[in-house]
Amino acid sequence: MKKTVVLRVDSGKPDMDKIRVAADFIRKGGLVAFPTETVYGLGADALNARAVLTLFEAKKRPLDNPPIVHVGDVGHVYGLVETVPAKAEELMRHFWPGPLTLIFRRSQIVPNVTAAGLDTIAVRMPKHNVALALLKESRCPIAAPSANLAGKPSPTSALHVLADLNGRIDAVLDAGSTAIGVESTVLDLTVDPPQILRPGGAPYETLRDFLGNVELNPLAVSEVTPHIEKARSPGLKYRHYAPVAEMIVVEGEPEKIADKVNSLKRFYEGGGKKVGILVTYENLSCYSAESVKCLGSRRDLSAVARNLFGLLREFDAEKIDVIIAEGVPPVGLGLAVMNRLRKASGYNIVKAK
120-124 vs 142-143, strand pairing mode: unpaired
User: CB of 3: closest distance to ligand TXA in angstroms?
Assistant: 23
| Integer-rounded Cα radius of gyration of the chain | 20
Containing H/E element for 308? helix 301-317
Q: Which stretch binds Mg ion (CB under 5 A): 49-57, 120-128, 146-154, 163-171?
A: 146-154
Q: Which of 9, 19, 25, 41 binds ligand TXA (CB under 6 A)?
A: 41
Provide the 8-state DSSP code for 331: S
Using CB under 6 A, which residues numbered 120 to 139 contact ligand TXA? 120-122, 126
Partner interacting with residue 68 (select from Mg ion, ligand TXA, none; CB below 5-8 Å by kind): ligand TXA
Site membership for ligand TXA, residue 184 (CB under 6 A): yes
CB 26 within 8 A of CB 140: yes
Partner interacting with residue 307 (select from Mg ion, ligand TXA, none; CB below 5-8 Å by kind): none
Provide the 8-state DSSP code for 66: P
CB 180 within 8 A of CB 308: no
Site membership for ligand TXA, residue 157 (CB under 6 A): no
Q: Which of 186, 207, 275, 350 binds ligand TXA (CB under 6 A)?
A: 186
Q: Which of 296, 97, 305 is nearest to 183 (CA)?
A: 305
In sequence order, what DSSP letters do the residues of 114-135 get, joined into one string?
HHTT-SEEEEE----HHHHHHH
Specify the 3-state DSSP secondary structure of 276: strand
Q: Which stretch binds ligand TXA (CB under 6 A): 31-39, 78-86, 282-290, 319-327?
A: 31-39
| Direct distance between the N- and C-terminal alpha carbons of the chain, in angstroms, rounded to an integer | 51
CB 163 within 8 A of CB 310: no
Q: Which of 9, 11, 31, 38 binds ligand TXA (CB under 6 A)?
A: 38
Partner interacting with residue 66 (select from Mg ion, ligand TXA, none; CB below 5-8 Å by kind): ligand TXA
Stretch 44-83: interaction string toward ligand TXA, x if CB under 6 A: ---------------------xxxx---------------
CA angle 316, 256, 313 (to 5 degrees): 10
User: CB of 268: closest distance to Mg ion in angstroms?
Assistant: 29
Helix pair angle (158-165, 301-317), 10° resolution: 40
CB 87 within 8 A of CB 188: no
Q: Which stretch binds ligand TXA (CB under 6 A): 32-40, 158-166, 305-313, 321-329?
A: 32-40
Q: Tell me the C-alpha to C-alpha distance, in Å, between residue 188 and each of 97, 236, 332.
A: 18, 13, 19
User: CB of 218: closest distance to ligand TXA in angstroms?
Assistant: 15
Q: Which is nearer to Mg ion, 102 or 264 (CB)?
A: 102
Partner interacting with residue 186 (select from ligand TXA, Mg ion, none; CB below 5-8 Å by kind): ligand TXA
Q: Which is nearer to ligand TXA, 140 or 257 (CB)?
A: 140
Q: Which is nearer to ligand TXA, 23 or 294 (CB)?
A: 23
Q: Which of 175, 216, 198 is nearest to 39 (CA)?
A: 175
Partner interacting with residue 118 (select from ligand TXA, Mg ion, none; CB below 5-8 Å by kind): ligand TXA
User: Residue 209, Cα to own-chain centre: how many angstroms?
Assistant: 23
Site membership for Mg ion, residue 146 (CB under 5 A): yes
Q: Which stretch binds ligand TXA (CB under 6 A): 21-29, 37-45, 290-298, 304-312?
A: 37-45
Maximal C-alpha separation, the chain:
60
**What does the binding site for ligand TXA look like in residue numbers (CB under 6 A)?**
36, 38-39, 41, 65-68, 99, 101, 103, 118, 120-122, 126, 144-146, 183-184, 186, 197-198, 232-235
